Amino acid sequence: MKTGIFVGGKFVDTGSKIVSISPSTEEPISEVSVAEGKFIEEALNYAWESRKKKVEKSKFIKLKEILIEHVEEISELIAIEQGKPIAEAITAEIYPSLSAIDFLLEKGEQILEAREMVPHEPLFKNREARLFLEPYGILFLISPSNYPFVIPFINIIMAVYTGMPVIFRPSKLTPLIGLKIGELFQEAGFPEHVLQILITEHDDVERILRDRRVSTVIFTGSVSVGRRIAQIAGESLKKPILELGGNDVMLVLEDANIQRAAAGAVWGAFMNAGQTCASIERILVHKNLKEKLVSLMKEKMSMLKVGNPLEADTDLGPLVSKQQKEKVMKHMKEAEEKGAMKIVSQTPIPEKGYFLAPHIFLDVPVNTKIWEEETFGPVVAIKDFENEKEAIELANSSNYALTSSIWTENKKRAWEIAQKLEVGTVTINDHISSFVEPSAPWGGFKWSGIGRVHGEAGLREFLQIKYVMGDFSKRKTLFWWFNYSKKKVEILNATLKFIYGRGKLKAGLKLLPHIPRLAKELGIFNLFSTIGKLFGI
């Protein structure tokens, strides 16, 4: 297992270290090197040298092959260092990563290729125009601990595909998983400059972000830190792409398949121990179904196994850190103190490690943290509603707006409600799963962030638009250039009214005496294009 920072295509040990702790055992896994000043500068220099340099497709094909070969090893590392059960490490971390490579190989060239543009302005009809997409400078990627492999991996391959070098800062809670991505790139033979991986202290995050060579930052994490990153980025007009979490709502309508809704609620709320930005944190259920939904959820919760994430039949692993567990427990305590009723799964949990049993809270006041904020644990709050209007208003009342889900057997109603929900993604009779679809953009409204990742929309976030228009006619001057005169103003006014005004016949008669000069100045093709406007051609 490589534990040095990844700079210039090599793993480098430094004098400064941190310790990676297993959330399941609370025991050290390994020491990991932390980047010091000179290594940060080296990384920036390496990255700067490779800007706008494309990597051949064969490297991405090789990367996919290597990732498949290392599925067991990587999924076990994710289970050990992050605490995600093996099954989820495969389905939620590795599977989407492979799918994203396939998407790039199939669609990437088509998305990035220059586009021929046909000028709309009739005076420019003889010109050639093209739209080019060019990568920004260096991407600074600051990644979270809840999805320590898939989130950085997809962003890295998409940026590198466009020709954008990446400096990747993994979470200090999951540094080994971040460094594993460097091993894969090294083994696949990617150029040494395209990816640098630095474990850094918080002060050095700001230093990298402020560097003039960094043009774009992707951050996934809390709203407070996201605001700070956006503030720093704004000082030098860097582009921030921010995914700042969610307080996602599940709408269970009166005609929902209640068995499916209950199973989906338990999975959507508790997978990854609730540490998913798109976890179901609020359930709004029609009052006629509330009792049945809660009963079924309790039954399904009792069958969940909480324990060692390395065991294939484990459903819930630990929270990623002691601090996260304490935060969740604080949210739960406040909800109880304010009158919410707690239902806890009776499944046994290990004594050691940052484990928590799944919890449901009923009749939760809207002024509790569990209802208003992102708890990020195996906790879900349930409220009932009487009508669709009330449900939509409650759903949209949150400051967070990442994803939501609608549960109904009425397709027409589902599509109508989906358009009324103020979120970045809506799924129907499912939750979260659009994250795995490589063509689907990912991102939210309101406090949930700015910009998008994944798919064509995500790929375009790394690209600047360059418009090029060429006039290859033999004319030595153009009509609207110097020198200006009274006669030229008359012609311009008549031309403008002829093209865009209502009284085209009257304007045309005024323009008629100037046709010979316009033919000479504009060119016959442009002149006929201008006249064609009169007939809608």
Q: Which of 277, 372, 374, 461 is catalytic?
A: 277
Q: Which of 188, 363, 243 is nearest to 291 (CA)?
A: 363
- Catalytic status, residue 121: no
Q: Which of 286, 310, 297 is nearest to 378 (CA)?
A: 297
Do 378 and 316 touch, CB atoms closer than 8 A? yes
Which residues on adjacent β-strands are paired with residue 216?
Answer: 139, 239
Q: Which of 311, 280, 294, 299 is nearest to 346 (CA)?
A: 299
The pair of structure tokens assigned to 345 is: 């799964």
328 three-class SS: helix
| The total number of residues written for the chain in this structure | 537
- DSSP states along 65-100: HHHHHTHHHHHHHHHHHT---HHHIIIIIIHHHHHH
**Cα atoms in the Cβ-side hemisphere of radius 13 Å centred on 40:** 20
Q: Which of 93, 243, 281, 372 is catalytic?
A: 243
Report the C-alpha gap between 349 and 308 in whole angstroms. 10
Query: In which residue are the tokens 């990298």 written?
Result: 208
| Degrees, nearest 5: CA angle 526-527-533 | 90
Q: Which of 462, 376, 350 is nearest to 173 (CA)?
A: 376
Do 146 and 272 touch, CB atoms closer than 8 A? yes
- Catalytic status, residue 243: yes
Q: Which residues contact 314 (CB under 8 A, 6 or more apart)?
A: 85, 86, 305, 306, 307, 308
Report the C-alpha gap between 387 and 397 in whole angstroms. 16
Report the C-alpha gap between 171 and 187 in whole angstroms. 23
**Active-site residue list:** 243, 277
